[in-house]
Structure 1
């Protein structure tokens, strides 16, 4: 039974790679926001301070995680893997530097700006200005080791799912940063 399910999942990813990645990545990102809200609104507070889950926020993360990020990541990793083939140290270093210093800054800016726009903030750039540098610094500490493992051990077809799994952890960090007053 498990083998049949595994084969069916592989077939879906092969036949519909962007859609499959979008569903998995979106589920993980929305799940990370749900986890973060559960912790901050239900578990780490006194009974009298508990709040309802913010469904609007879950919807915003679902949009980012299903419609925006997985499509960019799918195209990016497909290009990166075709341009830099193999797992030689020099190749891995090139991929890491490109991923962290070319792709990550625009993705982080997009995160803060698009989320601010969906939240209806008057100045959609303000949060990005305040939080971009500390977020990028934190992302270097998290993503450089995670992506090293990705580029060495993960087959190209599984890159977006691997990144989505890591992103579940990363989004918990990012959501925490977003909630901070910098």
Structure 2
């Protein structure tokens, strides 16, 4: 079992060198989709017979077309804006991330999931009005510490994957929030 994990990690590392952008986006899409499965099965307790594959595919698409590309570009830009790996640099990156990008990213997430879910503009706006503030507050309870550690300890090429692993439970919450009626 341990040998398989080592092999998978070496393969991931090799692909990260050859195709970093593609692999980061695919990883993000897969993990956002996995978060929806966790949401449907463990949080909502739908059971396998009531599992919505369409919803899981929609959430994976959100990871592929929104989460992965937006955060991938953001982390590269952030490393150019705040240079270095010091504690101070990590703290500045976390502040930029949480004060400038997190509110906008969350608003975009609500809009993208609503659009892919077939909601009208009016219903997306209503969902935004109902869910945005509480979700942003929840974000601030989790992400500043996680991002501080991410920016300090994790190399740029692995940040998106590490964030998505940490975000497995966060994305489960977002999937539930985005799909509740």
Instruction: Say yes or no: TM over 0.5.
Output: yes
TM-score by length of 2: 0.87
Verify the 8 A CA contact 1:33 1:58 in the aligned structure 2: yes
Confirm whether residue 31 of structure 1 aligns to residue 34 of structure 2.
yes
The answer to whether the 8 A contact 1:23-1:66 is kept is: yes
How much has 1:103 moved relative to structure 2? 1.1
Map 1:106-125; keep pairs closer than 5 Å: 106-122=104-120, 123=122, 124-125=124-125
Q: Which of residues 12, 16, 19 in structure 2 aligns to 1:16? A: 19
Q: Map of 1:128-143 to 2, 5 A cutoff?
A: 128-143=128-143
Change in 2 beyond 3 A, CA 1:179/1:9: closer
Partner Cα distance (1:14, 1:102) in 2? 30
Q: Which residue of 2 aligns with 1:74?
A: 72
Deviations 1:52-97 (A, max 9, x none): 1112211110111112211111111111123222233321221111
CA RMSD of aligned residues (A): 2.0
- How far the C-alpha of 1:14 sits from its partner, in A, is 1.6
Distance 1:41 1:79, change over 3 A: same
How far apart in 2 are the matches of 1:178 and 1:117? 11
The 8 Å contact of residues 41 and 53 in structure 1, kept in 2 or not, is answered as: no
Unaligned runs of 5+ in 1: 44-49
Structure 2 segments unaligned to the other structure (5+ residues): none
Alignment correspondent of 2:156:
156
Do 1:112 and 1:128's aligned partners in 2 also have CA atoms closer than 8 Å? yes
